Chains A and B, each alone.
Chain A
Amino acid sequence: MAFAAFANTAQAVDAAPRKSSKIALVLLAPGLAYLALFFLTPLVALILTSLQAPALYGDMGEYVYAFRWENYVAVVNEYGETFLRSFGYALIATMAALLISYPIAYFIGVRARKWPAIQAIALILVIAPFFISFLLRTLAWKQIFSDDSWTMETLKALSILGPDAHFTGTPFAVIFGLTYNFIPFMTLPIYTTLERLDTRYLEASGDLYARPSTTFFKVTLPLSMPGIVSGTLLTFIPASGDYINASGDFLGGPSTQMVGNAIQSNFLVILQYPAAAALSIMLMAVILVIVAIYVKRSGTEDLI
């Protein structure tokens, strides 16, 4: 959707006749004002904060405006590994969510077309988790898999897990949590494209000697690319900045820190505002670059 909005703007600029530009401006004004106030101002504030220097003889958490670009070097040195871990976890979670969501979306969007009731129920089931706060849901997972839970004890009793096995605090638990939390964000956009998939293309592919697996990779998958791109962006971007799943209070532990956790502790715990701001700016910049390359390379603009 972020990406679809992108494509639409480009078209609108081309198509807009000169005359209506004033009306367009009037209509755009509230949105532009909103963006300026709530997006541009904080962004500028954040950039300025990220360059601040500690106040001389000041208290802890007291900073003055400066141009201390060394802040960035310091956070790269200190949190480089955390960055890599964040993107690694986000990437794995995105892939896992894609692998789980695609069959679900395919079932709802293509196979269940003949039974609208089943389609509706399945869609509700996908959206149902949103009715409960995701903090609560993540906490529930923590309880289910805590060391003394019956789940873990049963698994240990059955010797599926070793006697000293942990779930919470491991990278697996964090990735599991991320995947779980973002599955609806992956499923819904893929469902929207598959729901419009013309099955006559699949018939034509079969008619042209393509076996079902070939038909899937040559026809179905390319035609559902817009949904996959939207879904992966909607999953990857928030997942790489996520600080709930990886936090020690939920499914993570000290060894599973993600950038989000680092930003949170710098801002709220150790009061290093410039470091936290620099981390935020870098996270934003890196995501922007990754997304730009991804959208460009996936070549989905042809499909719209």
Chain B
Amino acid sequence: MATGTFAESGADLELVGITKRFPGFTAIENLDLFIPAGSFFALLGPSGCGKTTTLRLVAGLEEPTEGKILIGGKDVTNMKSYQRPVNTVFQSYALFPHMTVLENVAFGLHRRGIKDAVAKAHEALILVELDHVANRKPQQLSGGQQQRVALARAVVNRPALLLLDEPLGALDLKLRRQMQLELKAIQTEVGLTFLHVTHDQEEAMTMADTVAVMNKGRIEQMGAPQELYELPRTAFVASFLGQSNLFTGQVVASTSDTISLDIAGNHIVVPKARAARHTGLVTVGVRPEKLTLHTETQTHDAGQNVLTGGVVKDVSFSGVSTQYIVSFPDVGDIVVFAQNMVFGPVVHEGAIVSVSWNIERGFGIEDHPEQAGKFVPDDNTASIAVAQRKALSAELEGA
């Protein structure tokens, strides 16, 4: 890459048919990805999903088994990491212990022969509010400070593409917010392309323009955070990105705009435009905060889905909202988030309630219900409703 100059702007990143196999397992399976210049792209997924491997492939720290990597339209697949216009903020920080903070930050600038390297390093340290420790060694700093030095060390190079490997994990909430804002500011100011790898869905959603949810070496779904949240296409996305109530049932009726499912005798209506599949056994879902809890029996209202006869199993108060787990016979447990408009919870455990939601809020996912069970072993990312109901029905059959 050109020495002595900074990247003028961010660069596109394109992965074409990337496969990475390690002895014994495949980390990434035929991945295609395009990240436009100047965007803030988040790769979100549980640990072991291949997101860090993807990042390391882009950084040049691993070689793909198959496929091509292009940065700014240029094929860098066979370039070594030091030749790529890319910098990484490592999860482990990897600050050089034998150098001072300042030397660490100026390291990349010196290697590229950039003028005023020390002055620029100081600027970067001022940005992360650590200029007062410039002459200390990294091990004399706290974890959060080290992380900020690692950020400064990467950002100071103004790379066309900045890779962030869970960079804010060790920071407390306040600092994390502050760094999120600063990162966002740097990104928009210089127009750099950011590829941010994280398992923190909230961080991904608040910072990124585009989020890709990754699972088992594949991208499950990609899009703007709001789009992903409101219209998840798979059970994995629905339950990894926030919480979802999922129901599986046979499609019994279909109009020009909606499909109607039979869920243990209840009719659940979902707009066709928001459902991936329109016939046969279909899984549909709704976000817990879209549900309304009723203590009086609810009459069937056009435009509303209603489930009646639920028993409140659990009430947990969390300040802004209260989470209710309502158990419906034959349907399973449903999670409801209700804003605390009055003081405290409105119902208590054991109460008989019904829930309703606007049919426009439901979504239908494309997974075949038989396959949905594959998430069961992974507790964090399990499709909660599907897994729980399957376990429950197995128990009922056994009894």
Residues on B lying within 8 angstroms of A by beta carbon are: 1, 59-61, 80-82, 86-88, 90, 92, 94-98, 107-108, 111-112, 137, 153, 157
Instruction: State whether B92 touches A200 (Cβ < 8 A).
Output: yes
A214 within 8 A of B: yes
Minimum Cβ distance to chain B for residue A172 (Å): 37
- Which of A205, A211, A215: most chain B Cβ within 10 A? A205
Are A204 and B96 in contact (CB-based, < 8 A)? Answer: yes
B321 CB, nearest partner CB in chain A, Å:
41
A203-B61, A302-B137 known; A210-B94 Cβ under 8 A:
no
Tell me the minimal C-beta distance from A185 to chain B in angstroms: 24
Tell me the complex Cα distance, A244–B273, Å. Answer: 91
Which of the residues A205, A218, A303 comes within 8 Å of B97, measured between beta carbons? Answer: A303
**Which A residue's beta carbon lies closest to that of B85?**
A209
Q: Are B81 and A223 in contact (CB under 8 A)?
A: no
How many A residues have CB within 8 A of the partner chain?
Answer: 22
Known contacts A207-B59, A208-B108; decide if A201 and B82 are in contact (CB<8 Å): no
Chain B residues positioned under 8 Å from A205 (CB to CB): 96, 107
Q: Are A207 and B87 within 8 A (Cβ)?
A: yes
Q: Is A206 in contact with chain B by the CB < 8 A criterion? A: yes
Q: Tell me whether A302 and B61 are in contact (CB under 8 A).
A: no
Are B94 and A203 neighbours in the complex by a CB distance under 8 Å?
A: yes
A contact residues around B86 at 8 Å (CB): 207
Cβ–Cβ contact A208 & B98, under 8 A: no
Contact for B88 among A207, A210, A225, CB less than 8 A: A207
Complex interface: chain B residues within 8 A of A303 (CB): 97-98
Question: A218 vs B80: C-alpha distance in the bound complex, in angstroms?
Answer: 18
Give the shortest distance, in Å, between A58 (CB) and chain B (any CB).
Answer: 60
**Which positions in A face B, CB cutoff 8 Å?**
198, 200-201, 203-212, 214-215, 218-219, 222-223, 225, 302-303
The answer, among B60, B98, B108, B157, for a CB contact under 8 Å with A302, is: B98
Residue contact B94 to A206, C-beta cutoff 8 Å: no
Among B82, B88, B90, B157, find the residue whose CB has the most chain A CB atoms closer than 10 A: B82
B contact patch SS: loop
| A206 near B97: Cβ-Cβ < 8 Å | no
**Which chain B residue has the least Cβ–Cβ distance from A218?**
B107
Question: Are B81 and A207 in touch, CB under 8 angstroms?
Answer: yes
**Contact between A208 and B87 (Cβ–Cβ < 8 Å)?**
yes
5 nearest CB pairs, A to B:
A208-B108, A204-B94, A209-B111, A206-B81, A200-B94
Residues of A within 8 A of B88 (CB): 204, 207
A208/B92 in contact, CB under 8 A: no
Query: Smallest Cβ distance from B49 to chain A, in angstroms?
Result: 21
Contact of B153 among A208, A211, A222, A223 (CB under 8 A): A208
A206-B80 in contact given A200-B90, A200-B92, A302-B137 (Cβ < 8 Å)? yes
A139 vs B97: C-alpha distance in the bound complex, in angstroms? 46
Nearest B residue (CB) for A219: B96
Extra A-B contacts (17), CB below 8 Å, given A209-B1, A209-B111, A214-B111: A203-B61, A204-B95, A205-B107, A207-B59, A207-B82, A207-B86, A208-B82, A208-B153, A209-B82, A210-B82, A210-B111, A211-B82, A215-B82, A219-B96, A302-B98, A302-B137, A303-B97
A222 to B60, CA, bound (A): 24
B112–A209 contact, CB under 8 A? yes
**Complex alpha-carbon distance, A212 and B96, angstroms:** 16
Min CB gap A50→B, angstroms: 43
User: B61 to chain A: which residues have CB within 8 Å?
Assistant: 203, 206-207
Kindly provide the distance from the CB of B92 to the nearest chain A CB, expressed in whole angstroms. Answer: 6
Residues of A within 8 A of B137 (CB): 302
Q: Is the CB of B112 within 8 A of A206?
A: no
Give the distance to chain A from B385, nearest Cβ to Cβ, in Å: 41
Q: What are 8 A-B contacts with C-beta separation under 8 Å? A: A200-B94, A201-B94, A204-B96, A206-B81, A207-B90, A208-B153, A209-B111, A225-B98
Distance to closest chain B CB from A243 (angstroms): 38
Name the CB-closest residue of B to A199: B94
Contact A210 B107 (CB under 8 A): yes
Complex: how many Å from CA A289 to CA B96? 32
Minimal beta-carbon separation of A211 from chain B (angstroms): 5
Q: Within the assembled complex, what's the spacing in Å between the Cα atoms of A222 and B153?
A: 20
Shortest B175–chain A CB gap in Å is: 22
With the chains together, A231 CA to B90 CA distance in Å?
A: 33
Contacts of B112 in A (CB 8 A): 209
**Within the complex, what minimum Cβ distance (angstroms) separates B80 from chain A?**
7
Most chain B Cβ neighbours within 10 Å, of A200, A204, A211, A214:
A204
